[in-house]
Structure 1
């Protein structure tokens, strides 16, 4: 005594109609009482079924790149969803959140509220270079006046000021801004 057609269909992960068609076409044989001997019929099913003609099972999915899964997980965590795993609804939610974020960024671009990173870095670089150049020219402008007030050699004063300004600028150049 075996199991019913529906129980065998559930065991195989197919519809009971598929089992009936397999019996009708002769790929598998039911017992005389109409039940299915699972071990015997599994062998018949595997032997007599053309794999190329099979549909992919509902559980079979394409491999999803890890980067895509990480992006979905990040989006879900940003939106407050901290449940483990990713269901279809969570993926759809993540997709809608990403669309909303993309649209918000496009709107900010249209309103000129966003700053181009490359332009901002170039602008800061130009400002820093102009400030450095101003500091490098400062000793030449003030050293003679300072030397006269202090009654010291103007050349020595200029060399001394320039040395300290360059030392100070060298210390400042060790500071690396973070532009992540």
Structure 2
């Protein structure tokens, strides 16, 4: 890699690192499409993010796009709702693109227009898959699922707690014993059994594990 000092890359070094023509980068800097530091040098991350957030240089003059279609730059800039102006902004955008590419097992080397376009395609594909799964009822909201599972657990527990009072008199009649004592004994055993199974936190944790395993 080209040498770099703490003040940034020179135009020649930047061109070598990015694999781009020095003259092309000079034009981009002159038209302020890539940021240039006050000392005349360039921050690599800021330049990479700027290149990703602009239309591909060869298509820069194309202004007509389908309504609703976003360029890779618009997709990335949505993170901060502002233009990439500082190294911190650039680092955030580059980090986002890298995380998307790495999550899909794609190589995340130099973040340029092609990398941003690939990341945008991945995001669009994911969104379409999610929409398709939701329409087919194969994908549901995780929070709603947790609430329904917890509700079912509570209903099941309440059913067990009410069971002794329903079944106790029948057992007492069949065995010829006192129904009140039978109900009390059953309630004690059921309550102990439910306590042994799990407390509230353990139930929630178990449900979370089962949801994640789906």
Q: What residue is the counterpart of 2:100 in the other structure?
A: 75
Q: For structure 2, list consecutive stretches of 5 or more residues without a partner in the other structure.
A: 1-10, 16-21, 47-85
Query: Is 1:162 matched with 2:187?
Result: yes
> What is aligned with 1:141?
166
Higher RCO, 1 or 2 (CA under 8 Å, sep at least 6)?
2
Say how many residue pairs are matched: 134
Cα deviation per residue 1:43-74 (whole Å; 9 max; x = unaligned)?
Answer: xxxxxxxxxx9x64383424236664444333
Aligned pair partner of 1:172 in 177, 186, 198? 198
Instruction: Provide, for residues 17-41 of structure 1, a one-character-per-residue CA deviation record: whole Å limited to 9, x for no partner.
Output: x9xxxxxxxxxxxxxxxxxxxxxxx
RMSD: 3.5
Match of 1:128 in 2: 153
Q: Secondary structure at the match of 2:198?
A: helix
Instruction: Tell me, in whole angstroms, the C-alpha distance in 2 between the residues paired with 1:164 and 1:138.
Output: 11
Gaps of 5+ in 1: 1-8, 19-52
Superposition deviation, residue 128 in structure 1: 1.8
Whether the 8 Å CA contact 1:73–1:86 is kept in 2: the answer is no
Range 93-102 or range 63-72, more displaced: 63-72
8 Å contact 1:143–1:161 — kept in the other structure? yes
TM-score by length of 1: 0.57
